[in-house]
Structures are given as C-alpha cells and as structure tokens.
C-alpha cells in the first residue's frame, strides 16, 4: 500500500538522516554536502514519483532503475534479487564519517519492480577487519610463534610460525593441544606456571623445551597474558614463543666451560685468584684458601695485608700497579711468615685482565709455594759445594799422596840401595840391621796407606766383605796399645785405659776392629799436644751394645768442620795438622767400618778443648759368657738366638776399673 509523503516529510526525514534521533539512536547522512544534496534530491524524486516509504520500518520501496539514476554503485551482488551497496556517511553530531552497508532486496509488488533498502553501520566491523588484517600481518612477519586459547570454548589456535619452529605444517597443528608439544620433563613446571598465571595473575614468562616433529627438543621462551571478564573469570589466553635453542646451547657450553675452569682452578695446587683494579679480591680458589687458612668470605672481605703482612702487601701493590701501568705480567718472589712462625716461599705471578675492547678491568694472580723447591735448591748448592770440596779434597789428597808415598819409597829405595851396594861395608854390619828396620817401617806405612785406600774404595763400591769371628776384645785392645806405644811416647801423650775386668767377646771382623781402634788412637795422638792425655773407655751394656770411647785433650774440631773431617780426604787446616802426615782417610774409613757392622759412630768435639769419639756395636754382636767363662752359644747363631733371660743372667754391669799402664 502506498503512502503519500509531503515535502515537509522529506525535510523531516533528511533531518533525521543528518543527525541523531531524539531517542539517541544513530542516524546517518552522506559524508559530503554534495552527497547530502543528492540524498535529498533522490528522496524528493522518490516521493514525487509516488514511491512508497515505510516510516515504521525505515525503508524505501524503490524501483531498481532509480538506483542507477541516483548514482549508487553495487559492490557485489549476492544474488539476482539482492544487491549490497556500501558508502561513507557523515554523522553530524560527531562530525565524523561512518561506513554503512546498504542491502537492496528486489521485490515485485503487484506489477511494479521495487527494492527494500536496509542501512547498517559497519564501522565496528571494518575496525575489526582492519585489526584482524594488522594482526595477520604482524603474525606473518614476526619470528615468534603465537598460541591463542579460547578458554570459554576450549579452543586453541597456533600461528604458522609456531608450526615452523616445531617442524609442522599449519594443517598438522590446528587441532593439537598446547600441552602435547611440551617436553615431558618440563610439563609439570609449564602447566603449573600457566595455572598460576590464570588463577592468581602472576607473570607468565618461562623457558621450556618443546618437542620437534623430528624427535628432538627445542628451547623456547614462552610469554603470555590472559584476559578476564568483568566477573574475574578467564576467557582467553594469548602467548608467544621465541626460539632460544642457540642461546641455551651457548649458555650450556659456557656453563660447561666455567665448570671445567672451576674444576681446574679448585684442583690446582697453584693459588689462583682475581682482583679488581684496586687490588680487592673478587675470587680465590680452594688452594689459596687452604694455603692461608682462610675462608672464601674472609678472603673477599679482608685485605691481603691481614695475612701477608704490611711489607709483603706493599710489594704486591707495587707489582699490581706495574701490571696495570705496563699491561704486562709481573713476577716476584717473597717469603710469608705465618702466625705460628712457619715460613713459606712464594713465586708470585700478577697479570692484567682485559675486556673485549682490550681495556684493563682487573688483575689476575697465580702463586706457587716454592718452599720445597727452595730447600732443594739449597741442598743442591750444598751438594755442589760439597762436591767442590770433595774435588778439592781429592786434589789435596793427590798432592798429599805424592808426599806420603814418596817419603817411604825414598827410604825404601835409599836404604835398599845402600845395602845392595854395601856402601858402609860388608852386609853383616850392625848399621844394616837398623836400615832394614827403617825399610820395614816405611813399607808397613806405605802398605797401610794403600790398604786404607783400597778399603774405602771397596766400601764406596759396595764390595767390602766382613770376615766375622769371635774376638777377644781385651786381647785386641792390648795389641793396638802395643802398636801405638812408641808413637805416644814420641809425642809425650799419656794413654789411660778404663775397661771392665771381664770384657765379653765381640762377634765382628777382627782386622776391622783393630783398624778402628788404631785409627782412633793414632788420630788422637797426632792432634794432642805434648803433655796431653788420651782415655779409652770400653763398656758392654746388655740392652744397648758394645761401646768403645776414645777421649783426648787435643786441639779439638770446630762444629762447622766436623762434616769435613768425616768426609773422605777431608782435613782441617791447623798448626798441628801442618806438621802431621796423613791422608784424611782415617775417620771416614772408621765410620764406614762401624756402620758395616750395623753400629754407630759419634764424634763430639770442642775447638781448643778436645775430642770424644764413641763407637757402638749392636747388642746382637755381644757374645755372652757363663760364670765359668765358657760360651753359652755358637757365635754364628748369635743375634736371633740370644734370649733376654740369658743376657740378664750374665753380669755385664760396670765393675771396678783396672788401670792399664799407659804406653
């Protein structure tokens, strides 16, 4: 049914299009004045031609041809009877353009072709479409994978980049669940973080591993944000993942490298540490802590002066300054004295630490305890000096030997030549008997020197053999006293012997025992001035051994010279020694022979007061006797067969001393 609309109705209608209605509903008009005029002209045309307008539903019934006349352009046809039109209209109250959508539905009313025009505000839809396009562009160009979870409908969306990171196509992941991609060992932690974020709105930012299609894991950083409705219920969760596999591998390699460095540092015997440019400690290894007896906290909080001392600290600070100034390592040695008085020698190495731009940012240090090395060096020096001394002694020995050997040889040759040529007359003259004695004495002396040299050489070569037997000690002593009697009288030296009245026998090499006693006695006689005295003490103690002690009142030996006189060929220069012949073999040979018997040799001397030499044979070499004087055992079974009871039953206690007349 048609309605007749007047021009006032048209003006009122256009006014409605130009502004908002009284009830606040949105009304529209075309965005340009020309369009507005065209709209009014068009409406007037429609009215004049009698085209109906339905005010209750807000639509015109328009002939199709009028759409073309009005200049409207069809965006796209939906069907033969429906055409969708779009245009920008102008909202007068807001002074802004608003996009609209017009749907023209063709209708046939009786015999007239008509159209219903339906206007819709599509501004929100266009904004949403633009937002979706922008989001799609952002997702397309970003390197992050996106995950959207519609919590209300429990639907999940994964962006194409998500699939690329994990090796999947878009189609393969669209119906998957986020939790299915999480590495099993990280699943509980990831879901707990997600629940915590949604439930308490705590930040969702964590590093987890996701499963790749090719059966390996990918490290990602997941960051997300949930949305809640006005009642606080979660409705959506949006998260992004950034692949950090390379970074995690680099960090893992760095951690392994740091672990290796720490292991090397902590297990190194060197003291390793790092300081800032002010020489404040930043790091010390375990060796450093152990050496100074401090904890890591003590080292970092206290200054080095605390445990190194002011003087050493001053030296180290100077070394640090030099390293900072020159940019080169600095080495020095110092001695550290600890609270308990112990001293340690250190090799200090300080060097600058540079950053990537070759700027000095600190000082590194590697110290080593060289105390043992220092001791070894001192021993080496001492050994070198000893070797040099030995070489000098051997040189002196050779020089002395030329004299020692030439003198008796000259006598032997001279006297033998006199006797051979009978310079003094027939061989039967008494003078020849005297020369024969001189020859014998010179030869004996020469033989003794040679024997000493051979014995010492054998001992040093480990080829010296003992010919052990049971020895009557008293008889051996008497023999030795008889030998040195003439020498003692010549030099005006008194010999006194203190010994037990019943000395037990000794199981030893008899020749060696006599040589030991003779060496001690002749040595004492040579270095005791006229009027001096030599005392011999012999004791046997059942639990200590057999003791032979020779004491003289001679010139004595300085403490620092004792090692020299006990070394082969060693002699101490003195006024008396210059007048005495000797090879320097007596005491070293004596000491070696005693030690070959398992005994000990002790020399105590005071310069200018005299010397005491004590020789001890082990208790196993004592041959105990019964009260009737018979042996209780076979000497060859001596050591292991002597029982404590037998030794105790034998009276070895000190008895009244018998004074043997001096030689």
In a domain, 258, yes or no: no
Cross-strand pairs, 350: 330, 365
In a domain, 39, yes or no: yes
Please state the pTM of the whole predicted model. 0.36
Hey, is 362 helix, strand or coil?
Answer: strand
| Same domain membership, residue 632 and residue 496 | yes
Count how many domains the chain has. Answer: 5
| Same domain membership, residue 316 and residue 218 | no
Q: Which of 543, 570, 552, 567 is nearest to 646 (CA)?
A: 543
| Same domain membership, residue 315 and residue 354 | yes
pLDDT value at residue 564 = 79
| Same domain membership, residue 53 and residue 156 | no
| Same domain membership, residue 291 and residue 187 | no
How many C-alpha atoms does 592 have within 13 Å on its Cβ side?
Answer: 22
pLDDT value at residue 581 = 54
Q: Which of 165, 172, 174 is nearest to 211 (CA)?
A: 165
* Six token digits for residue 489: 């009288």
Structure-model confidence comparison of residues 156 and 402, the more confident one: 156
Cβ partners under 8 Å of residue 656, min gap 6: 501
Alpha-carbon distances of 295 from 151, 268, 304, 365, 587, rounded to whole Å: 55, 17, 13, 18, 55
Structure-model confidence comparison of residues 342 and 50, the more confident one: 342
Structure-model confidence comparison of residues 434 and 81, the more confident one: 434
CA dihedral 626, 631, 635, 641 (to 10 degrees): -40
The pLDDT-based confidence of 568 (bands split at 50, 70, 90) is low
Cβ partners under 8 Å of residue 182, min gap 6: 190, 191, 208, 209, 210, 211
The pLDDT-based confidence of 618 (bands split at 50, 70, 90) is very high
Q: Which CATH number goes with the domain that contains 194? A: 3.30.450.20
| Same domain membership, residue 609 and residue 472 | yes
Structure-model confidence comparison of residues 95 and 614, the more confident one: 614
- As a whole number of angstroms, the distance between CA 286 and CA 265 comes to 8
pLDDT value at residue 400 = 65
Average pLDDT over residues 413-418: 74
| Same domain membership, residue 597 and residue 554 | yes
In a domain, 261, yes or no: no
In a domain, 623, yes or no: yes
| Same domain membership, residue 118 and residue 150 | no
The pLDDT-based confidence of 495 (bands split at 50, 70, 90) is very high
The domain boundary, picked from 218, 249, 280, lies at 249
Percent of the chain past pLDDT 70, that is, above it, reads: 66
In a domain, 455, yes or no: no
| Same domain membership, residue 599 and residue 486 | yes
Backbone angles phi, psi at 255, to 5 degrees: -65, -40
| Same domain membership, residue 223 and residue 304 | no
| Same domain membership, residue 388 and residue 325 | no
pLDDT at 25 over 90: no
Average pLDDT over residues 638-645: 39
- As a whole number of angstroms, the distance between CA 13 and CA 58 comes to 10
Domain around 292: 270-369
Q: Which CATH number goes with the domain that contains 506? A: 3.30.565.10
pLDDT value at residue 450 = 75
Of the ranges 100-109, 150-159, 277-286, 385-394, which one carries the lowest mean pLDDT score? 100-109
CA-based max dimension of the chain: 197
pLDDT at 628 over 50: no
Tens digits of per-residue pLDDT, 31-44? 334 444 444 454 44
- As a whole number of angstroms, the distance between CA 518 and CA 655 comes to 25
pLDDT at 202 over 50: yes
Average pLDDT over residues 261-266: 80
In a domain, 254, yes or no: no
pLDDT at 224 over 80: yes
In a domain, 480, yes or no: yes
| Same domain membership, residue 364 and residue 386 | no
Of the ranges 177-186, 353-362, 606-615, which one carries the lowest mean pLDDT score? 353-362
Q: Kindly calculate the radius of gyration of the chain based on its CA atoms and give it in whole angstroms.
A: 61
- As a whole number of angstroms, the distance between CA 167 and CA 173 comes to 10
In a domain, 259, yes or no: no
Backbone angles phi, psi at 514, to 5 degrees: -65, -40
Average pLDDT over residues 292-318: 82
Of the ranges 335-349, 389-403, 634-648, which one carries the lowest mean pLDDT score? 634-648
- Average pLDDT over the chain, rounded to whole? 74
């Amino acid at each position: 049914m048609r309605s007749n609309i007047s021009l006032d109705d048209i003006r009122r209608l256009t006014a409605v299009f130009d502004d908002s209605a009284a009830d606040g509903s949105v009304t529209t008009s075309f965005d340009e004045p020309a369009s507005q005029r065209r709209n009014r002209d068009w409406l007037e045309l429609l009215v004049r031609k009698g085209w109906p307008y339905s005010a209750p539903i807000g639509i015109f019934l328009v002939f199709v041809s009028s759409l073309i006349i009005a200049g409207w352009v069809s965006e796209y046809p939906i069907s033969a009877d429906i055409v969708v039109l779009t245009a920008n209209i102008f909202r007068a109250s807001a002074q802004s353009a608003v996009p609209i959508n017009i749907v023209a539905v063709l209708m046939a009313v009786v015999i007239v072709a008509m159209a219903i025009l339906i206007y819709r505000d599509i501004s929100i839809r266009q904004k949403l479409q633009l937002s979706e396009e922008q989001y799609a562009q952002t997702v397309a160009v970003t390197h992050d994978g996106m995950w959207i979870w519609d919590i209300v409908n429990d639907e999940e969306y994964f962006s194409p980049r998500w699939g690329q990171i994990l090796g999947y196509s878009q189609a393969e992941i669209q119906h998957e669940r986020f939790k299915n991609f999480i590495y099993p060992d990280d699943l509980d932690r990831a879901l707990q973080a997600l629940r915590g974020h949604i439930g308490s709105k705590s930040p969702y930012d964590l590093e987890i591993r996701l499963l790749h299609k090719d059966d390996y894991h990918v490290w990602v950083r997941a960051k997300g944000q949930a949305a809640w409705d006005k009642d606080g219920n979660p409705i959506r969760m949006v998260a992004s993942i950034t692949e950090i596999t390379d970074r995690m591998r680099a960090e893992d390699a760095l951690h392994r490298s740091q672990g290796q460095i720490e292991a090397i540092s902590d297990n190194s015997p060197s003291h390793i540490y790092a300081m800032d440019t002010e020489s404040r400690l930043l790091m010390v290894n375990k060796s450093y802590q152990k050496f100074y007896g401090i904890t890591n906290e003590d080292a970092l909080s206290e200054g080095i002066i605390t445990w190194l001392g002011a003087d050493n600290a001053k030296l180290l600070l100077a070394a640090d300054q030099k390293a900072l100034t020159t940019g080169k390592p600095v080495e020095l040695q110092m001695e550290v004295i600890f609270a308990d008085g112990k001293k340690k020698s250190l090799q200090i190495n300080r060097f600058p630490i540079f950053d990537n731009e070759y700027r000095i940012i600190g000082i590194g240090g590697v110290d080593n305890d060289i105390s043992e090395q220092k001791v070894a060096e001192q021993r080496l020096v001492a050994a070198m000096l000893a070797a040099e001394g030995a070489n000098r002694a051997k040189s002196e020995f050779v020089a002395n030997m030329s004299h020692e050997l030439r003198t008796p040889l000259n006598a032997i040759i001279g006297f033998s030549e006199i006797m051979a040529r009978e310079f003094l007359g027939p061989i039967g003259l008494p003078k020849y008997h005297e020369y024969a004695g001189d020859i014998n004495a010179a030869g004996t002396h020469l033989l003794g020197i040679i024997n000493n040299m051979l014995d010492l050489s054998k001992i040093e070569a480990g080829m010296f053999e003992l010919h052990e037997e049971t020895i009557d000690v008293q008889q051996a002593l008497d023999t030795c006293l008889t030998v040195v009697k003439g020498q003692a009288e010549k030099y005006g030296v008194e010999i006194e012997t203190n010994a037990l009245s019943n000395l037990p026998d000794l199981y030893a090499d008899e020749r060696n025992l006599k040589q030991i006693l003779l060496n001690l006695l002749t040595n004492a006689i040579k270095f005791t001035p006229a009027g001096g005295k030599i005392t011999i003490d012999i004791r046997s103690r059942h639990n200590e051994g057999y003791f032979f002690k020779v004491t003289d009142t001679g010139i004595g030996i300085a403490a620092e010279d004792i090692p020299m006189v006990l070394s082969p060929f060693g002699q101490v220069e003195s006024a008396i020694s210059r007048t005495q012949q000797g090879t320097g073999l007596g005491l070293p040979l004596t000491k070696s022979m005693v030690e070959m018997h398992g005994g000990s040799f002790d020399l105590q001397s005071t310069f200018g007061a005299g010397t005491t030499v004590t020789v001890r044979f082990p208790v196993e070499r004592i041959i105990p006797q019964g009260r009737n004087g018979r042996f209780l055992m076979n000497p060859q079974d001596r050591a292991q067969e002597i029982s404590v009871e037998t030794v105790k039953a034998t009276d070895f206690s000190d008895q009244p001393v018998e004074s043997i007349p001096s030689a």
